[in-house]
A and B are shown apart, each in its own frame.
Chain A
């Protein structure tokens, strides 16, 4: 009876990887498990993303062929296309890439933490607060900081307030979410108040900040976002095994020796940082945080927590939405926030109305 399965002699030094994984073994003390599917999925997404980037750099009032785009990217090509690609289109592309990835990764983190696919930073009001601060800067009330810096300050203030009101994150971060919804409502009301106090021209100049757009971006902020995104991605890779425990109940997570409070706080800090920086660049484009992770989950067949894939799909969605908004009614430019709302909206309604299984909402 005793340990019957172990009576079989097993002298292999190297274990075989569990199904669907490959084992990267570098000596006895360094063994990494790699999920094959995830690698394949992310490679495909990267390829798609590169294609989308090259297309975006080429499409516009001055079309440039993909070959020329690639030539320019490698430092060749004629000065005209070099100017258009590198100075005009590349900064905007990078902004779209970074903000999309940041929003989507933040969304995935918060959804995982709250076990709720509707819980994203935008929905719980962080975007709203950033918007209120940015608008206050544009309409000339409050501190005279640049709108992007104010957006960042707004996101930080909202988070701090929500934490303060909720007295910590609460189990599953729910208290934090409710506090966030309340603060979001206040911020929304304040934004309306600010807009109603000024002339229509000033209100119009604040418009990009109320819907989310890539046309008012600040190059400095884009750089900061890029760095922040890189750091957060690396942190996610390091913490992936901890985040993977989040779907279990609190007792199981504690029982398996993980510190649930630390995981939760870390996830919150990461997603607030990402959202704050992304909002500072593009304003509230919160629906990407809802749509990006969802596409990633479908691609992952609803297994595991596709953090990296979420970042990639978010970037893809953002780039395509911006391309669409730039070209569809050219020369009028649709703000990217509106485009994502129109794309994400029907999906959102579908999520709301669909009859759901126990896990889906």
Chain B
């Protein structure tokens, strides 16, 4: 294993990393079923998993915990991929849906529909996705604008500014509607607990579209990483690739936000870990993001159940706590001239 770390990330065998990542993911899923904040002991959970539990225990393990595991799986998958895509399009390792205001756009759209009379239960996924698309477009226009200047912080600042603006507008809306305010304050803390699987099912078709978009865009994206002119020279159409990727990101982030509320930093941490393992090529990192995203979300969720027993810490808080140091790590490790 030590010798494995001596191989440059870009030359490591993708297959072995991929397989071991999936093994870890399976382990995480099992742990997610075993551990919990409730009164169920580890032993009882284990027995239940083997099929010898009481009805209550079965409900806890196979309904409550299994649901949140599945949702965690979904959130990790979508946000991790979305982060990797956004970073490739913006050509900036700090581009992250949560940081750049995409999730905030989604939240605002949800808040608007809540104020207009919907409730969180009947929330349509399309609204959240539309909001994400608007946030995405806004922030990427900035990214394109400052593309030549090798200064990733600008994009993050622009995103932070956009987020704070969108959150202020969200607060403004909630000022006028107490009922919506009451509903949204639970939703706005990103969490995988207590969400229902029906929304998950309604999201799936759009995820299929997003998947097709990604399959179309992944190869051109790899050449776009070499620069816009190179991509044109290789016969790609950068504008079209970007548009396709932005749609995919909006679908992914909007879907995830509709289900779990805004969860920041997943899109930053996952591609960062993937790049550290297999190098910067998007075709490799994207594959690795598939298992890595769920691994990180599910393990964060397990921790969030255990640290504040008997209460739980929402996932969004925990990911922020993990993500902020990673953000700094990225900035410090890339010896950027302006830093």
Contacts and interface: CB of A to CB of B under 8 A. Distances in A.
Contacts of B323: 182, 185
A119 B160 CA distance: 10
Interface of B: 98-99, 138-139, 141-142, 145-146, 149, 153-154, 156-158, 160-162, 164-165, 167-169, 171-172, 175, 178, 181-182, 185-186, 188-190, 264-265, 313-314, 316-317, 320-321, 323-325, 327-328, 331-332, 338-339
A102 B231 CA distance: 48
A183 interface: yes
Interface string A332-353: 0011011001101100110111
B175 A338 contact: yes
Interface stretch (A61-69, A168-176, A262-270): A168-176
Contacts of B331: 174-175, 178
A182 B189 contact: no
Contacts of A352: 138-139, 141-142, 158, 161-162
A123 B160 contact: yes
Looking at chain A's contact residues, is the secondary structure mostly helix, strand, loop, or mixed?
helix
A333 B202 CA distance: 41
A340 to B, nearest CB: 8
B328 A348 contact: no
A356 B264 CA distance: 29
Contacts of A166: 328
Contacts of B153: 116, 174, 177-178
Contact of A210 (B146, B171, B186): B171
Contacts of B320: 182, 185-186, 188-189
A118 interface: yes
Contacts, number: 160
Contacts of B314: 189, 192-193, 196
Given A175-B331, A175-B332, A286-B164, A170 B157 contact: no
Contacts of A188: 167, 320
A351 B165 CA distance: 13
Interface in A102-139: 116, 118-119, 122-125
A189 B157 contact: no
B264 A185 contact: yes
Contacts of B185: 192, 195-196, 203
A344 B169 CA distance: 11
A92 to B, nearest CB: 20
B324 A183 contact: yes
A345 B189 contact: no
6 contacts: A165-B328, A186-B317, A189-B314, A348-B165, A349-B138, A355-B145
Contacts of B317: 186, 189-190, 192-193
A200 B157 contact: no
Q: Which of B99, B161, B265, B313 has the most CB of A within 10 A?
A: B161
A177 B181 CA distance: 31
B156 A181 contact: yes
A200 B178 contact: yes
